[in-house]
Amino acid sequence: MKFRLWGRPSSARTQKIMLALAELGIEYEYMLASATMGPNGSVAKGGTPFGIVDTPEYRKMNPNGTVPTINDDGYVLWESNAIIQYLGMQYDPKLFYNDDVRLFASAARWLMWENNQLIPPMHNLVMHLIRLPASERSATKANNMRLKLIEQFNIIEKQLEETRFLAADHWTMADIPMTIRCHRWNLLDIERPEMPNIERYYADIKKRPSFATISDPSMHIEG
């Protein structure tokens, strides 16, 4: 098989690539790899990592020792949002950004926004709600991250007043990371305001066949 993906099924960044490949209908060999989690959960709670990422062979591909990494018939790439953009340009520009450079840029900015604005507070919230041992959790930090996430999701809520999907009235690559973030947002057992546009959007993205890639209950929020 010419396409390989190194990653962890419960990793949000890896799930982005799983969604992208599902949208494109690309078959691939899945190489389980991770330093922080494994089949039995977080290393912080005594779980055993999948490994591989610290081997010389992997570090030659990805010097960061992170996931995901892909090998597409000899072309190696890491960094999830770069991989999404590559896959769209390489395999289906029409699907991912309507083969339009301005829509590509509009969608790409949401990839960057998700990376910068949503991942940090969501990661820290999950750490203090679920992943850290109880003795190391902070209710104050968790609440601060909850409020920060509400602030950020309100930006999405307002955007969805203007467009049915994130970057346009049709699905684009911008909706790949947001599918995962909205799904995890709904899985979190926290107090939040009603956001009807996000609820409508979440219902829409769940209808896409690719959503089955990340809907397995074993891919829980701890990942």
d(CA 36, CA 32): 12
d(CA 188, CA 184): 6
Confidence at residue 115, expressed as pLDDT on a 0 to 100 scale: 94
Helix (H) or strand (E) holding 77: strand 75-78
**Which residues in 16-25 are b (16+ Cβ under 10 Å) and which e?**
bbbbbbbbbe
Query: What's the total number of domains in the chain?
Result: 2
103 and 159 part of one domain: yes
- Answer with the one of 91, 123, 154 that is the final residue of a domain: 91
Confidence at residue 49, expressed as pLDDT on a 0 to 100 scale: 74
- Answer with the one of 91, 126, 150 that is the final residue of a domain: 91
Q: Which domain holds residue 110?
A: 98-212
Query: Looking at the domain assignment, is residue 15 inside a domain?
Result: yes
Confidence at residue 35, expressed as pLDDT on a 0 to 100 scale: 73
142 and 165 part of one domain: yes
The answer to whether the peptide bond before residue 68 is cis (omega within 30 degrees of 0) is yes
**Which residues in 156-173 are b (16+ Cβ under 10 Å) and which e?**
bbebbeebebbbbeebbb
Say which CATH number the domain at 205 has. Answer: 1.20.1050.10
Confidence at residue 48, expressed as pLDDT on a 0 to 100 scale: 73
147 and 80 part of one domain: no
78 and 7 part of one domain: yes
Query: Looking at the domain assignment, is residue 117 inside a domain?
Result: yes
Each residue's pLDDT expressed in tens, for the chain with a length of 223 residues:
589 999 999 899 999 999 999 999 999 999 999 877 767 666 656 667 778 889 999 999 999 999 999 999 999 999 999 999 999 999 999 999 999 999 999 999 999 999 999 999 999 999 999 888 889 999 999 999 999 999 999 999 999 999 999 999 999 999 999 999 999 999 998 999 999 999 999 999 999 999 999 987 555 555 4
Confidence at residue 26, expressed as pLDDT on a 0 to 100 scale: 97
127 and 47 part of one domain: no
Confidence at residue 41, expressed as pLDDT on a 0 to 100 scale: 64
Q: Which residues contact 184 (CB under 8 A, 6 or more apart)?
A: 12, 122, 126, 221
